[in-house]
Amino acid sequence: FTTADVTAPVLTEVTAVPTPTNNNTPSYTFSSNEAGTITYGGSCSSGNTSASTDNNTVTFNVLADQVYDSCTITVTDSSNNASSSLNVNTFTVDTTAPTVNSFTSTSAGGSYKSAGTVNITATTSETVVYGNTIIVTLDTGDTILLTAAANGTTLVGTYTVSDGDTSSDLTVNSFSIGTVTDSAGNAMTSTTVPATNIASGSTIVIDTTAPTIIKFTSTSADGTYNYSKSSVSNVNITATASETVVYGNTITVTLDTGDTVPLTAAANGTTLVGTYTVGSGDTSCNLTVSSFSIGTVTDSAGNAMTSTTVPATNIDSGSNIVIGSGAGC
């Protein structure tokens, strides 16, 4: 007589599905101690429906990008004995390449002069691999290497300001890709600069140009100003700088009368002001600044004024201020 087969096949995992994987038709290998028909449960299926004794490799049908944690395999032998379900290892299908989502800086807002340093961070759409790099080109024209210091979503680097660099609000203009891959092996290809740039969340001004004096003027009325023992005769003098300078900054001007007058920045701004008091024996046909020396004058980035060139626009360019008798004019 014939003995009935009531023993179900026994299944064992041999090779797990790699995870994460950028293959959306991944393979899985299991062993069965009996041949039979394969059935699939959960979120996976395959065209491989016949199992042989020993190892069997099945290739899953096209899978969407997601986590797969409910795939099962069952083998039913010729006597209709079904094995216990074999749970396929949890795996992730990821076929999407990473992109750069934003450029930011953790450096404080403000003005930076030559040798100043600014941190730059690129944030990616997903985890990228340690050591990955991109190269950004700033609106200053400088190129900066950003590197992933660990597996994660950030690549960082440091921009060191050089002489001649300038930017009213630091931004990334473009970037190129060294090597950037996610953990599934998808390589970054897009070099589109994201809408969120450094300037979106920070105001970082790059200023390596020292301020200069661009004109001397006076708000005093035109006319003749004489020395008198009984009254004081004053003339306002204003120096205008090429950019904002710091409160309390000073220069000292020498007038064509020979007098020296200190001019001071009364606030952060572009003007330094002072008052010339006419002295005994002072004379000028049309008051002008002959020269000036610098006390301390810096812009908001800390660039120090060095030029003592008297500008073409002088007091006499817009005013007619005579000092003393005007004899010999």
Helix (H, G, I), strand (E, B) or coil at 315: helix
The verdict on whether omega for the bond into residue 20 sits within 30 degrees of 0, i.e. cis, is: yes
Q: Find where tokens 């393979």 sit.
A: 27
Give me the phi and psi of 199, to 5 degrees please: -70, -15
Amino acid identity for residue 48 in this structure: N
Q: What is the pLDDT of residue 191?
A: 98
Q: What is the pLDDT of residue 328?
A: 66
Helix (H, G, I), strand (E, B) or coil at 97: coil
Q: What is the pLDDT of residue 325?
A: 74
Partners of 143 in the β-ladder: 137
Cα dist from 41 to 31, 45, 71, 73, 87, whole Å: 17, 7, 6, 6, 9
Structure tokens at 162: 């050089």
Partners of 13 in the β-ladder: 30
Contacts of 290 (CB under 8 A, 6+ apart): 254, 255, 256, 310
Spatial CA neighbour of 258 closest among 287, 295, 226, 223: 287
Pairing of strands 91-93, 204-207: unpaired
Helix (H, G, I), strand (E, B) or coil at 215: strand
Structure tokens at 121: 């961070």
Rounded Cα gap, residues 185 and 22, in angstroms:
7
Tell how far CA 24 is from the center of its chain. Answer: 36
* pLDDT < 50 positions in the chain: none
Q: What is the pTM of this model?
A: 0.84
Rounded Cα gap, residues 94 and 52, in angstroms:
31
Judged on CB neighbours under 10 Å (0-12, 13-18, 19+), 134 is: buried
Spatial CA neighbour of 248 closest among 276, 269, 275: 269
* CA distance from start to end of the chain: 144
Spatial CA neighbour of 175 closest among 189, 159, 158: 189
Tell how far CA 33 is from the center of its chain. Answer: 60
Q: What is the pLDDT of residue 327?
A: 60
Tens-digit pLDDT profile for residues 41-65: 999 999 999 999 999 999 999 999 9
Q: Find where tokens 């050591």 sit.
A: 131
Q: What is the pLDDT of residue 231?
A: 86
Rounded Cα gap, residues 60 and 303, in angstroms:
66
Q: Find where tokens 């003393």 sit.
A: 324
Structure tokens at 119: 């941190």
Spatial CA neighbour of 180 closest among 138, 143, 141, 135: 135
Tens-digit pLDDT profile for residues 191-240: 999 999 999 999 999 999 999 999 999 999 999 999 988 889 999 999 99
Q: Give helix then strand counts, H and E, for the chain.
A: 2, 26
Amino acid identity for residue 289 in this structure: V
